[in-house]
Amino acid sequence: MSATERTYNFSAGPAVLPLPVLKKAQEELLCLPGAGASVMEISHRSKQFEPIISGAETNIRKVLNIPDNYTVLFLQGGALLQFAMIPMNILVGTGKKADYIITGSWTKKAHSEAKLVGDVNVIYDGKDHGYRRKPSAAEAKINADAAYAYICLNETIEGVQYQTVPDTGDVPLVADASSEIFSRPIDVSRFGILYACAQKNAGPAGVTVVIIRNDLLERSGEKVPSLLNYKKLAENKSMLNTPPTFAVYMVKLVTDWLLNDIGGLDKMYAINKEKAALLYEVIDNSNGFYKGHADKEFRSLMNVPFRLPSEELDKKFQDEAKTVGLATLGGHRSVGGLRASIYNAMPRDGVVALRDFMLDFAKKSG
């Protein structure tokens, strides 16, 4: 392989981007047409940037069919900053507690950050079964007076995904959708806050999309610093200061691609289901050579963590895969094993190539 040949990149994030998006960004990098400068060089308040950020918002509203009583924000700091901003804004001052449902690494981390800020309950923790599934409504009972209930729709590290959105009644549901946003149709009206850092399915690292029901904006206290204050951010359309303009531009291009090249979320979902099935089928038919992490009914369409019979084989698999252009298949450093992240932008051909490699490798080593 030459130094500039692209591989199939199964990174969990920052992750593969659609090639047409990268090509468009490359073409416009020195000069955004009509702007006389790169998109990186122009004011966020310029007439050239305004249609980019408002276009990204329009695209997101269209893709997710977002009701009018929701605000879309483009923020910085990734999911980790949301872990703190959520309780700073919608817990502190309510006199209530928030309910956390821990289903893997990212909800665990979200809870530990929220604890620094306010009063939080853990109403479910799946550690006893190694975070292989999501709880039933009976296992994770929401307190009727909770300020909000917190979940992660798809645990990126464990590859465990909610197949249906839990019903939290009148308690606002707050969900981290970082590694699954735009991968399937979802009913936004079921959420108080739905948010995602971009670097899996929405764009590059450096921007986080936060979709918030407008009534929750009223909970932001006056003492919350401006850039952490949902209400002030909403009033200023994410422009209290300079937003991460290039990252927002990339989100605009990615959502353009999703709408125009793919044709929306129903189509994207069908493609994603088929891609994931290619890998899970190999795992299920391998007579235990490949072991998936998640229980079958909670398997993620986006992240497929699996193990081989030994750590040596895990390593051999990863090394050999790399030599044939299948890259970044290592599991998260906290859990080891292997993981194939097959986000929207991973082409079917890449998944087929991995499937074929898995079949060959099992035959050779099994």
40-59: contacts with a second copy (CB under 8 A) = 40-46
Is the distance from CB of 329 to CB of 10 less than 8 angstroms? yes
Q: Is 349 in the site for a second copy (CB under 8 A)?
A: no
List residues bridging with 292 in a β-sheet: 306
Residue 36 or 309 with smaller CB distance to a second copy: 36
Cβ of residue 134: shortest distance to a second copy, in angstroms?
23
What type of residue sits at position 97? K
219-248: contacts with a second copy (CB under 8 A) = 222-228, 240-247
| Category of 95 on φ-ψ map: left (φ > 0), alpha (ψ -120 to 50) or beta | left
Find the binder of a second copy among 20, 22, 93, 97 (CB under 8 A). Answer: 22
Q: Which stretch binds a second copy (CB under 8 A): 6-14, 94-102, 160-168, 349-357?
A: 6-14
70-109: contacts with a second copy (CB under 8 A) = 76-81, 83-84, 88
Distances (CA, A) of 180 to 122, 128, 160: 23, 25, 11
284-313: contacts with a second copy (CB under 8 A) = none
Q: Is 353 in the site for a second copy (CB under 8 A)?
A: no
Location of structure tokens 């069908």:
270
Residue 168 or 344 with smaller CB distance to a second copy: 344
> What contacts 329, CB < 8 A, 6 or more positions away?
10, 317, 318, 321, 322, 338, 339, 340, 354
Which tokens sit at 105?
Answer: 């690494």
Comparing C-alpha atoms, which of 4, 12, 10 is closest to residue 200?
12
- Contact letters (x/-) for a second copy, 112-141, by CB under 8 A? -x--xx------------------------
Cβ of residue 282: shortest distance to a second copy, in angstroms?
23
171-210: contacts with a second copy (CB under 8 A) = 197, 199, 204-207
* Number of amino acids touching a second copy (CB under 8 A): 72
- The string over 239-264, giving b where at least 16 C-beta atoms fall within 10 Å of a residue's C-beta and e elsewhere, is eeeebbbbbbbbbbbbbbbbeeebee
Find the binder of a second copy among 4, 69, 323, 334 (CB under 8 A). Answer: 4
List residues bridging with 73 in a β-sheet: 210
Cβ of residue 82: shortest distance to a second copy, in angstroms?
9
Distance in angstroms (rounded) separating the CA atoms of residues 106 and 1 = 36
99, 108, 134, 200: the active-site residue: 200
What type of residue sits at position 163? Q
User: Does the annotation mark 349 as catalytic?
Assistant: no
Q: Is 3 in the site for a second copy (CB under 8 A)?
A: yes
- The string over 103-113, giving b where at least 16 C-beta atoms fall within 10 Å of a residue's C-beta and e elsewhere, is bbbbbbbbbeb
106, 252, 257, 275: the active-site residue: 106
**C-beta atoms surrounding 334 within 10 Å:** 7
Q: Is 6 in the site for a second copy (CB under 8 A)?
A: yes
Q: Is 110 in the site for a second copy (CB under 8 A)?
A: no
User: Does the annotation mark 176 as catalytic?
Assistant: yes
The enclosing H or E element of 208 equals strand 208-213
Location of structure tokens 């007076």:
145
134, 176, 275, 314: the active-site residue: 176
Distance in angstroms (rounded) separating the CA atoms of residues 241 and 299 = 40
Find the binder of a second copy among 333, 334, 349, 364 (CB under 8 A). Answer: 333
User: Does the annotation mark 200 as catalytic?
Assistant: yes
The angle subtended at Cα 316 by Cα 313 and Cα 320, nearest 5°, is: 140
Find the binder of a second copy among 183, 201, 328, 344 (CB under 8 A). Answer: 328
Residues involved in catalysis: 106, 176, 200
